[in-house]
Amino acid sequence: MARTKNVLVALGWYDHRLLQGIATYATEHRWHLAAHSIIHEKVIPWGWEGDGVLAWLAAGDDLAHFVASVKKPTVDFSMRRPHLPFAHVVQDHAKTGQLVASHFLDRGLRHFRFYSDSENWSQVERGEGFARALTASGEECEWWRWRETSGQGSGQNQWLRRREWLLRQIQSAPKPLAVFTANGTLAVEIQEVCAEAKIQVPSEVAIVGIDDYLLSVGAANRSISGVDTNLEEQGYRGAELLDRMMRGARQPVKPVRIPPAQVITRKSSDILAVNHGGVARGLHFIAEHFAQAISVDDVARAAGMSRRGLHQAFSEHVGCTPGDKIRGVRLNLAKRLLAETEDKIESIAQQSGYPSINTFFIAFRRAEKTTPAEFRKIARRGR
């Protein structure tokens, strides 16, 4: 019988989802996890001996020095210390930005802002990914940087100065406006400033934040859309990589990047914003009837337009064809149901508007490069 591996969990930051992913892999492979002293007592276990380390080294220097001194295979879940000779399994922040850009573009929004308050590498990568995706679609994005633009020291008035600055940015921006924030706290801040100024969310300002778990806790925040950053999958994949390294595999040269799961749409970004009446009618028709056997001709009739005219107008105002839009809405619902419900795949196909299970499988594999069952397995592991 193989010896039980002793793995240290050295996280300078606590999140139960990352730990759940680690614990799932550890249970499957009968590891012993040494985690209590650091996570619960904040005590660095100098003198610990074992087989490998799973770390998050974006916090204090003491923890980083300790992990480096252990000299065992190590996976770091952050990129704050790239000079240390460790493997990295991190969130794909650029992909997160791209995902949010698509979320806003699909809703017909055309004015974009990214709001951050730090030069933290994750915030920068999210903002750059968001801006690049918008540029590729022919759109522009302005970056609101609080510290860089207006952070003038500390003091009793700093909070008020920041809110006043943020309100000026929101009021002066063209509407309807789409705002992607670098974290969940900033999304709540945008929502609060809009509420105080009686600026309507989402009709005037649509908001998406990070990450969804934080935005789903507390009644005040449950109306804010957020990105599920797939932390359980990150934990699982990090443990999987460490296992290979403990067995003698070479450490990967480049970081392993875990893509986000999805945008969880709530009230703050639940909007269809286009300046073309026919396209707006078509979008609303698709939103109401996509689960039925509708065609592009049906959408054109609802929009009061010819099929050709509708195609041209959708391409100009939405960035895709009516057929693409129908397929995208159906696919997004199917993915959400696979991830969040116990419904049978046949039922999900029907609820999502696919005429047969075979049609669903073909469409899903073409779009996601995997089967519905495998997608569900990965999504559940990442919850």
| Domain match, 281 and 366 both | yes
Q: Dihedral through CA 99, CA 100, CA 102, CA 107, nearest 10?
A: 150
| Domain match, 162 and 97 both | yes
| Domain match, 132 and 205 both | yes
Residue 181 lies in a domain: yes
| Domain match, 118 and 220 both | yes
| Domain match, 153 and 206 both | yes
Write out pLDDT tens, residues 112-134.
999 999 888 899 999 999 999 99
| Domain match, 112 and 172 both | yes
CATH for 197: 3.40.50.2300
| Residue that is last in its domain, among 247, 269, 291 | 269
CB-based contact 234:78 (threshold 8 Å): no
| Domain match, 38 and 153 both | no
CATH for 281: 1.10.10.60
CB-based contact 119:151 (threshold 8 Å): no
Q: Dihedral through CA 63, CA 64, CA 66, CA 71, nearest 10?
A: 150
* pLDDT value at residue 213: 57
The one-letter code for the residue type at 296 is V
Write out pLDDT tens, residues 255-298.
999 999 888 888 888 777 667 889 888 987 887 888 898 999 99
Region 61-65: what's the mean pLDDT? Answer: 89
| Domain match, 106 and 121 both | yes
Of 175-179, 276-280, 310-314, minimum mean pLDDT range: 276-280
| Domain match, 287 and 355 both | yes
| Residue that is last in its domain, among 269, 286, 320 | 269
Nearest one of 72, 15, 78, 83 to 45, comparing CA atoms: 72
* pLDDT value at residue 139: 92
* pLDDT value at residue 287: 79
| Domain match, 209 and 223 both | yes
pLDDT higher than threshold 60 for residue 153: no
Residue 211 vs residues 40, 76, 118, 126, 339: alpha-carbon distances, Å: 23, 20, 16, 12, 17
Region 173-196: what's the mean pLDDT? Answer: 94
Residue 220 vs residues 116, 161, 280, 324: alpha-carbon distances, Å: 21, 23, 30, 35
In 85-209, alpha helices (H): 93-106, 121-136, 146-150, 158-172, 184-196
Q: Which of 114-123, 157-166, 235-244 has the highest mean pLDDT?
A: 235-244
| Domain match, 97 and 218 both | yes
Structurally, how many domains does the chain consist of? 3
In our burial notation (b when 16+ CB lie closer than 10 A, e otherwise), range 287-317 reads: eeebeeebebebbbbbbebeeeebbebbeeb
Residue 116 lies in a domain: yes
| Domain match, 218 and 283 both | no
What's the CA gap between 312 and 314, in Å, rounded? 6
* pLDDT value at residue 241: 98
Q: What proportion of the chain, given as a percentage, has pLDDT over 70?
A: 91
Residue 23 lies in a domain: yes
Q: Dihedral through CA 181, CA 221, CA 19, CA 64, nearest 10?
A: 40
Q: What proportion of the chain, given as a percentage, has pLDDT over 90?
A: 59
Residue 153 lies in a domain: yes
* pLDDT value at residue 149: 46
The number of residues in the chain equals 383
Residue 343 lies in a domain: yes
State which residues form the domain around 239. 6-91+231-260
Residue 1 lies in a domain: no
Angle between helix 231-246 and helix 16-28 axes, rounded to 10 deg: 40
* pLDDT value at residue 87: 97
